[in-house]
Amino acid sequence: MPGSHIAAGMQTSSECPDLNTLVNGIGMTSQRTRDRLVKRLREEGVRNQDVLDVIRKTPRHLFVDEALSSRAYEDTALPIGYNQTISQPYVVAAMTDLVIANKPQKVLEVGTGSGYQAAVLAALVPKVYTVERIKPLAVLARQRFRQMGLRNIRASHNDGTIGLPEFAPYDAIIVTAASESIPEALLEQLADNGRLVIPVGGRDCQTLSVISRHGDKFERQDLDPVVFVPLLSGEA
């Protein structure tokens, strides 16, 4: 089913935390903690300053369970339930850098998960479409987008392996789960000169790959070994 456009803003009451407090964080979720994460990412080889600035500003602690918020700015993947994870910040930064290399105006993300990757992309791309097969995760991600006032994200609960053909073509597609083969539907939804960033492989051996489209031809470049949850079809 197609997702709905994300509404802006967040309803507040005298009993709710102030939005600035939620976003800025305190203690282990403070801006100082985020700055340390960005410093580590730079030391690990992330060079795109625009990506680093967005990582610094994006409140990752809002995308994990409150019990794990003290670990939100560690450079590690964390569980988000339903056998899914929020990706390691280094991986998010590296994949974002690959996605925005051709200055896309419209991006599709397959695998919304917590919503963190979509939120990072939304600060760098005019329009982000994201699809999640697990309904509770899709619902929670929508709530987070509203909470943060992210108006340029359109979120759907659907089978991500078939993409979102009704909004194609996309300048870039990013897949946040590993597929043993590259879904043909996603290649078809790429715009000319667009690129697909996807982990390819089984549970024991995965490689981050970039597939570029040039007319009816596709060029594949394999990059680094990675570890992602498997890309599954259907809705849950």
CA distance 65 to 198: 26
Among 20-29, 178-187, 205-214, which stretch is predicted with the lowest mean pLDDT? 20-29
**Distances in Å between the alpha carbon of 10 and those of 13, 14, 29, 33, 63?**
10, 13, 20, 25, 16
Which listed residue (69, 87, 114, 179) is catalytic?
87
Tell me which amino acid residue 219 is: E
pLDDT score, position 8: 29
**pLDDT tens, position by position, 41-90:** 999 999 999 999 999 999 999 999 999 999 999 999 999 999 999 999 99
Q: Is the pLDDT of residue 20 over 60?
A: no
Domain ranges in the chain are 77-225
6 or 230, greater pLDDT: 230
**pLDDT tens, position by position, 185-203:** 999 999 999 999 999 998 8
CA distance 102 to 95: 13
Q: What percent of the chain is predicted at pLDDT more than 90?
A: 81
- For 77-225, CATH gives 3.40.50.150
Q: Is the pLDDT of residue 174 over 60?
A: yes
Residue given tokens 């994460």 in the structure block: 37
**Distances in Å between the alpha carbon of 124 and those of 48, 49, 97, 176, 205?**
12, 12, 10, 18, 31
Residue 30: φ, ψ to 5°: -75, 170
Q: Is the pLDDT of residue 14 over 80?
A: no
**Residue 184's pLDDT band (boundaries 50, 70, 90)?**
very high
Catalytic-residue membership of 87: yes
Among 5-14, 16-25, 152-161, which stretch is predicted with the lowest mean pLDDT? 5-14
pLDDT score, position 23: 56
CA distance 116 to 77: 12
